[in-house]
Amino acid sequence: VNRLTSRSILTSEEEGAILGLDGHLEQVAMHKDFVSQGERVGYSCLVASGLVGRFGQNKDGTRQITCPYIPGDMADLPSVVSSRSGWGLTALAPTTLLQLSHSDLRRLAATYSGIAEAFWRDCVADGSIFSEWIVKLGRRGATARIAHLLCEMAVRYERSGQGELLSFTLPMTQAQLAEATGMTNVHLNRVLRELRLGEIVTVRSGEVIVHDWQQLVALGEFNKAFLMLDEPSPRILVGAL
Partner DNA sequence: CGTTCTATTGAGGGAAGTCAACAGTGGTGG
Partner DNA sequence: CCACCACTGTTGACTTCCCTCAATAGAACG
Closest CA to 103 of 16, 25, 48, 21: 21
The neighbouring-strand residues paired with 205 are none
- Distance from C-alpha of 148 to C-alpha of 144, rounded to nearest angstrom: 6
Which listed residue (25, 124, 165, 186) binds a copy of itself by CB under 8 A? Answer: 124
Stretch that binds a copy of itself, among 112-120, 152-160, 185-193, 197-205 (CB under 8 A): 112-120
Q: Is 59 in the site for a copy of itself (CB under 8 A)?
A: yes
Residue 187 contacts which entry, DNA, a copy of itself, none (Cβ below 5-8 A, type-dependent): DNA
Task: Pick one of DNA, a copy of itself, none as the site partner of residue 142 (Cβ within 5 to 8 A by kind).
Answer: DNA
CB of 56 to a copy of itself, least distance (A): 3
Q: Is the CB of 128 or the CB of 174 nearer to DNA?
A: 174
Total number of residues that touch a copy of itself (CB under 8 A):
59
3-state secondary structure at position 150: helix
Strand, helix or coil for residue 226: helix
| Angstrom distances, CA of residue 165 to CA of 121, 130, 151, 180, 230 | 25, 22, 8, 20, 15
User: In the complex, which residues of this chain contact a copy of itself (CB under 8 A)?
Assistant: 38, 54-59, 62-64, 66-67, 78, 80-82, 84, 86-87, 102, 106-107, 109-111, 113, 116-117, 119-121, 123-128, 130-135, 137-140, 181-182, 221, 225-226, 228, 233, 236-240
